[in-house]
């Protein structure tokens, strides 16, 4: 087990226990479905149980295995318990790969942004990833083998107007991931940070696209392309990959 997931990178997903947050749509759904096809046993975590069941059913019909853990990730304690439950459901291996993907954002001036939504966004985008990581990390360290993926955003590296609270939450994710990597890499746990650019998901609605620069709209990338790059990065044990343009597909950093 350690050899398959060790210094050579992660290429064989057969039987892997994988936890994906935000698995009910967008990047999380696409990643979960792909990993299910690759033979992983997937635990899906998100707030919308009906949508999670839909994704799980599709994975099952394709011959994969999936579990549903409904949870409001705006509550850190609930997020922690979801991680504990996923560790149980994915026995005997436990959570071997954690993908902290859940998150949401918005596009408006801070003057027009309700404080309650800023608080919830910070909890979902940042605190939930901390809580779930806390839940599954002890098992990874005990086994001296594990991968933790943080789906952040290029906005966490280059802040953009109309996204101030969102950009701040993603910057926090990146700082947490980098510090965590320094703590656990020597214990067999690899940390990968992913900073997508403009990805074609429900995150960008018609109004958002209307405000977006034309070069950004032209550079929008299909979600399956992002998923492929994430899997390649894990296979090659990447720490850093970056292209600084609006056509940015993905930025990976330790």
Contact (CB, 8 A) for 101 and 152: no
Alpha carbons within 13 angstroms on the beta-carbon side of residue 102 total 36
DSSP 8-state class, residue 93: T
d(CA 136, CA 244): 33
Residue bearing tokens 């939930």: 128
Active site residues: 166
Please, which residues have CB within 8 angstroms of residue 91's CB and are 6 or more apart in sequence? none
β-bridge partners, 151: 194
Residue bearing tokens 């579990």: 67
Contact (CB, 8 A) for 123 and 72: no
CA 76 and chain centroid, separation: 16
């Amino acid at each position: 087990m350690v050899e398959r997931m060790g210094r050579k990178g992660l290429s064989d997903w057969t039987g892997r226990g994988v936890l994906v947050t935000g698995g009910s749509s967008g990047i999380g759904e696409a990643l979960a479905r792909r990993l299910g096809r690759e033979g992983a046993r997937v635990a899906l975590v998100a707030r919308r149980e009906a949508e999670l069941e839909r994704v799980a059913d599709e994975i099952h019909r394709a011959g994969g295995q999936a579990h549903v853990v409904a949870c409001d990730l705006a509550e850190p304690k609930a997020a922690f318990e979801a991680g504990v439950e996923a560790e149980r459901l994915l026995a005997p291996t436990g959570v071997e790969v954690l993908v902290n993907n859940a998150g949401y954002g918005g596009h408006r001036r801070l003057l027009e942004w309700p404080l309650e939504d800023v608080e919830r966004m910070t909890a979902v985008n940042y605190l939930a990833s901390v809580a779930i990581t806390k839940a599954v990390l002890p098992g990874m360290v005990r086994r001296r083998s594990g991968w933790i993926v943080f789906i952040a955003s290029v906005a966490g590296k280059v802040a953009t107007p109309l996204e101030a609270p969102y950009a701040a939450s993603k910057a926090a994710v990146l700082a947490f991931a980098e510090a965590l990597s320094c703590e656990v890499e020597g214990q067999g746990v690899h940390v990968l940070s992913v900073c997508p650019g403009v990805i074609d998901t429900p995150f960008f609605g018609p109004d958002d696209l209307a405000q977006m620069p034309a070069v950004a709209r032209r550079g929008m990338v299909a979600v399956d392309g992002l998923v492929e790059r994430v899997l390649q990065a894990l296979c090659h044990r990447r720490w850093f990959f970056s292209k600084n343009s609006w056509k940015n597909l993905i930025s990976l950093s330790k």
